[in-house]
């Protein structure tokens, strides 16, 4: 058994988080270029400088094993503008390392993030999940998320 602690990301942990983000993207089917990862790091730093509670990490045995990045309202995070309606937040990124899955880590991360969002007056939380990601869809449905919109993509 392992004990996971959910806490806010500290700025000095950003490089470790970047490594996990790379694993996440690789698993989703592509090799992210360094430039993309650097943009992501910049955005996440912008988010925690605005509000440290928005980036939750799962921590065990001295390392980060999962993360959940949320954004709120209409806000400019280092150039990334998230257009969200009033009193709504958005879970932008969620990942748990393979070896730590199916033990409630993602559930704990989301519940922690949502508890904070609720405490500051947020009334609705959205997230985007790929239609083929059955595991994640099942988890979100279990947590009370319901289909709200269809996100359409056209390949160029
Ligand atoms: C989707 C993802 C975040 C889920 O992470 P996770 O930590 O395995 O999720 P949880 O453990 O909280 O929930 C998964 C399952 O474990 C079950 N579970 C929850 N707590 C548990 C516990 N204490 N013991 C055993 N199982 C548990 C859940 O009920 C769920 O089971 P179900 O699918 O049969 O309903 C993870 O698979 C992942 O990172 N995938 C790749 C990236 C990705 O798809 N991200 C989401 C994009 S939107």
Sorted by where each starts, the structural domains of the chain and their CATH numbers stand as 5-142 (3.40.630.30)
CA–CA separation, 78 and 109 (whole Å): 24
Q: Is 77 helix (H, G, I), strand (E, B) or coil?
A: strand
- Higher pLDDT among residues 148 and 65, named by residue: 65
- For tokens 């932008």, name the residue: 92
The tens digit of pLDDT for each residue in 65-104 reads 999 999 987 667 766 666 677 889 999 999 999 999 999 9
Contact of 88 with 127, CB cutoff 8 Å: no
Q: Does residue 94 have its Cβ closer than 6 Å to ligand 1?
A: yes
Question: Which pLDDT belongs to residue 134?
Answer: 94
User: What pTM did the predictor assign?
Assistant: 0.93
Choice from 4, 57, 106 to test ligand 1 binding pocket (greatest atom count within 8 A of CB): 106
CA–CA separation, 144 and 107 (whole Å): 12
């Amino acid at each position: 058994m392992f004990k996971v602690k959910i806490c806010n990301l500290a700025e000095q942990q950003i490089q470790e988080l970047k490594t996990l983000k790379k694993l996440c993207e690789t698993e989703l089917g592509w090799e992210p270029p360094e430039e993309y990862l650097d943009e992501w790091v910049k955005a996440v730093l912008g988010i925690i400088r605005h509000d440290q509670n928005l980036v939750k990490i799962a921590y065990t045995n001295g390392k980060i094993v999962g993360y959940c990045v949320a954004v709120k309202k209409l806000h400019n995070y280092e150039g990334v503008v998230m257009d969200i309606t009033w009193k709504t937040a958005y879970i932008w990124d969620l990942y748990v390392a393979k070896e730590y899955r199916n033990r409630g880590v993602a559930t704990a991360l989301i519940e922690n993030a949502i508890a904070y969002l609720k405490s500051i007056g947020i009334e609705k939380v959205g997230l985007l999940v790929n239609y083929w990601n059955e595991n994640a869809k099942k988890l979100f449905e279990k947590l009370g998320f319901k289909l709200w919109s269809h996100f359409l993509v056209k390949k160029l």
